[in-house]
Amino acid sequence: MADDRDFYAILQVNRNATLDEIERAHERLSRTYDPETSSKPRAAQRHADVQEAFEVLSDRAKRREYDGDLRRGEREVAGAVLPSDVLSNRFVIAAALTLVASVIAVLAVVILVGGDGDENLVANPTTPAVTPTPAPTVPAHTPGVPPESPPEIAGEEITTESGLVYIDFEPGTGEVAQASDTVAVNYSGWLQETGELFDSSISRTAALRVVIGAGGVIAGWDEGLQGMTEGGSRRLIIPGDLAYGEAGNLNATPPIPPNATLIFDVELVDILIPAPPATPTPVPTPTLPAQTPGVPDENPPDVTGEEVTLESGLTYIDFQPGAGEVAQTGDTVAVNYTGWLQDTGAMFDSSISREAPLPVTIGFSSVIQGWHQGLPGLAEGGSRRLIIPGDLAYGEAGNPNATPPIPPGATLIFDIVLVDILTAAAPATETPTPAAESSP
């Protein structure tokens, strides 16, 4: 076995993955990176990495030895991207840039990230809800100077039913992006009315990472990125209702007025992670178990159990064993939970005081990313504590609608009880088609 590979990351599964999940991931990625059919420039190397990872993780003895090395801290994972690396790539400008450019970079995140409130504070996160995988490395580039106004382009102008207009002015030669793909893009944005530039990734050191259709960017992007080809460039003319709506964005420079139409030129640099397998075939929502409302703990109670930390930075502790089936990605489960701020211990949300637990489809529902990574492997009837770093929770935006408000970058603590697995994950198909994300 190689000593510098993160085999779980290569197969895009977590450490609790079953053999069946590993085999499905191997089959899917082998097709994606088949050197005979894939146009990706690194397909041959990625295909070889997938085969090496599968050889270890599909063999019970080899996987046990590999997991033991990980637990003892003897294996340093090559290419693992820590949360701090992701934040640096996306939000921090190279030291050589001026302080003003640094402020613009931070504002760019505020401009692009969307989200609405909901009675369940784990809903509508600032990080996309996708099948749990370590964050890929976003391609680096040399900072440049974006155009101050939209340049002249040529191409067919297409208007969608929503009112979005797009023009493909530079053809690509790679894979075609679809909903739920994780992609890296470069972009510049202007106000249509004045032609003024208000945001661009060109002046930064790396492209922007986006999960298409997950609600992490404005709606015009979620719609407009689909169908783009790797290496291609597209102009998006986004009406106000698909951008910042009635509120506008006063934090932009210059401020974006209410209902402003925006122009973006977007280059699809790379498809970092293909869309995950399809969601289960839609079925009627199962009936949630009723419960008598109770009183949640105001502060995190003391728990005992083995503390496990994943490569993403998520920490979990199983403090109450379950006796039922084990949850996996794609299962729809009913959970009770209570959430606290780690810094203060203050409670900000709980389902215990309600009349029913919360339904969640692991890997697909609009809950924070830390839940999607932390729920697989939990048995029915079991309880697990999740200690979720800020980049897997509400990120730099925080959640001002919580009571008390969740500060930017806050680490959260959740105690979760898996009440029931309502519906099991659907079996993988030969040609999976990802379902579009939706927010409640």
Active-site annotation, residues? 187, 198-199, 218, 244, 264
**Paired tokens of 366:** 């609009």
What is the sign of the dihedral through the CA atoms of 55, 56, 61 and 63? Answer: negative
Helix axes 43-57, 60-71, angle to 10 degrees: 100
Residue labelled with tokens 């502060």:
299
d(CA 133, CA 211): 12
CB 322 within 8 A of CB 421: no
Backbone angles phi, psi at 40, to 5 degrees: -65, 135
Cα angle, residue 160 at apex, residues 158 and 161 outer, rounded to 5°: 150
Closest CA to 196 of 255, 125, 126: 255
d(CA 112, CA 224): 14
d(CA 17, CA 13): 6
Closest CA to 408 of 131, 127, 154: 127
Residue 118: CB atoms within 10 Å: 13
67 CB contacts (<8 Å, ≥6 apart)?
Answer: 15
Closest CA to 225 of 189, 273, 184: 184
What is the sign of the dihedral through the CA atoms of 364, 367, 371 and 377? Answer: negative
